[in-house]
Amino acid sequence: MFKKIISFFERLSSKPSIGGLQITDSALEYAILKEGKAETFVLRLPPGVLRQGRLQNPEEFSKALLNLHEQIAPQKSNDVVKVIVVLPSEVVYTQSFSVPNINQEKLEESSRLNLEMISPISAAQAYMSSQVIGETQDRYELLGAFIERNLTDQYRALLNAARFDPIIFEFPALALSRVVREALGTVKESVLVLQISSNGLDIFIFRNDSLHFDYFRSWQSIQGEAREISKEVFEGVIIEETQKVINFSSSRFKETPKAALLIMPGLEKEIQDLLQGRFALQATPLVLQKYSLNPNWYTALGAALRGALSPDKDNFLALGTVSGVLSVFYEERILNFIRLWRNILTGVLGFFLVVFMISAGYLVSQTKGLQDQLANISVQSSAKDLGDLQNKAKDFNGLVAAITQARGTAPAWQDFFSQLNGLAKANQVILNQLNLSSLKEPITLTAQAPSHDAVLKFKNVLAAQSNFTNIDLPLSNIIAQPDNSIVFQITFSYAPTLQ
């Protein structure tokens, strides 16, 4: 019962449900968190649909997305599935950089300029984003990521066509960093994380609770023209690439990782012995106690963990979005809030309308019955009995008139809420609280607007409506908030439109 109550209030909060979708050359993997548990869905891709993260057969990819949607939302083909999309590492470039420790207002502009300078792709043809990974008295350390705009837009179009809504695009190491944080908690020293997936070898450095460096090498670059990768070549690549990342850590962070986490089901023991013997690294498999999942699902799970975050806690970089993470989440919440309460209001009004109709029908039938009884009363009936019956009929007629009047007010309430909500939405005003007992009494509205001008504009718009009168907005009821928005309280009267 308690869980049902929590679930009900979560729906009232209009928090969007966002899952994680990992795209690889061989599969589409979807994970979402529900009531503290992870639900997963997978669909294998035919060979050749994707190659090194790039679409080779968009038509087959679209079919696969539609099939996955059917798994996730059976019998609900029109439902939009919101996702954090993890694209293959081959198509995402990362690089860390630093900027002077300036105020927060200028940090975004400074980081954008630095991203444009270091981008391996033309700025006009790329999506780019960054996140803060360290701060000193003098400088900010940031991690930047870049991806081709055309490729991202191609993925977005295909996802939208299959009823998926890609909120944000990111890359595997960033998603996995949340899983590492979930497993280890707060970590200050550098930890080496190695993942072997169907696409290749991914090695990244996790320190101070953040992803600091990511290095990926695909199997195709390792295999070359050979038909297969021998054990000697495989182990040699592990040693060579691990040494590169260790050297980078020693040079950049002035420390050598002492521990390593492995995400490679079936190969843990072999790689543990290899890293221990060559680098004296204490390597252990990455295990999540909270979620009973195969490590192959950790990347999609990491994206789902981001989807479950509240907007104020999401400080990760975001590729493929122009408006930013916070605005995306707030937009989703506002839309869901409007849809939810619109349905609730419609349902409540419909319920009362049915009650009024049933009550009116019952009372009309009772009145007719009484009238029939009066018609059958003998002329010889006593005047007293006849008067009593007439009084009863009069009382029932009064009830019928009251019910009819109550029914007539239902459209007036609906018109009022619809008109007020439309005016608020058109003028960027958020309705917080509405105090009223009836449409015949003065109404007090508490709301929030982005600026003083927006408040005055909203007041003038109300005044311009013929059915909004006696509008009063005292200066003392206009209060500025820390985020520069304005909370205000306005009083007015409302005259329903005559039908």
* Co-location of 298 and 439 in the same domain: no
Task: Give the pLDDT score at 326.
Answer: 59
- Only one residue has tokens 């619109």, namely 342
* Co-location of 479 and 439 in the same domain: yes
CATH code of the domain covering residue 213: 3.30.420.380
Structural domain ending residue among the three candidates 276, 294, 322:
322
Q: What tens digit of pLDDT does each residue of 322-344 get?
A: 554 556 566 666 777 787 788 89
* Co-location of 316 and 333 in the same domain: no
Task: Give the pLDDT score at 395.
Answer: 76
* Co-location of 68 and 104 in the same domain: yes
* Co-location of 76 and 151 in the same domain: yes
Is residue 20 included in any domain, yes or no? Answer: yes
Report the number of distinct structural domains present in the chain.
3
Element (H, E) at 360: helix 325-376
* Co-location of 82 and 15 in the same domain: yes
Edge-to-edge strand list for the sheet holding 200-207: 210-218, 200-207, 191-196, 259-263, 282-285
- Looking at the DSSP bridge assignments, the partners of residue 169 are 85, 319
For residue 232, give every residue at least 6 positions away whose Cβ sits within 8 Å of its Cβ, in sequence order, or none: none
pTM greater than the 0.85 cutoff: no
Task: List Cα–Cα distances, 262 to 33, 84, 442, in angstroms.
Answer: 24, 24, 67
Task: Give the pLDDT score at 389.
Answer: 66
* Co-location of 35 and 183 in the same domain: yes
CATH code of the domain covering residue 493: 3.30.70.2830
Structural domain ending residue among the three candidates 382, 410, 438:
410
* Co-location of 126 and 230 in the same domain: yes
Its domain, for residue 50, covers 2-322
* Co-location of 48 and 144 in the same domain: yes
Residue 471 half-sphere exposure toward CB, CA atoms < 13 A:
15
Task: Give the pLDDT score at 13.
Answer: 54
- Only one residue has tokens 């696409």, namely 199
DSSP state of 319: B
Cα 32 from chain centroid? 12
Q: What tens digit of pLDDT does each residue of 466-485 get?
A: 888 889 988 888 888 888 88
Task: Give the pLDDT score at 383.
Answer: 58
Nearest partner of 440 among 493, 486, 362, 367, judged by Cα = 493
Report mean pLDDT in 10-residue bins for the chain, 499 residues.
Answer: 53 73 96 92 95 94 96 89 95 94 85 93 93 90 95 96 94 95 86 92 92 92 82 92 92 89 91 91 90 92 92 88 58 74 88 90 86 67 64 68 56 80 88 82 90 88 87 88 89 78
* Co-location of 336 and 367 in the same domain: yes
* Co-location of 132 and 229 in the same domain: yes
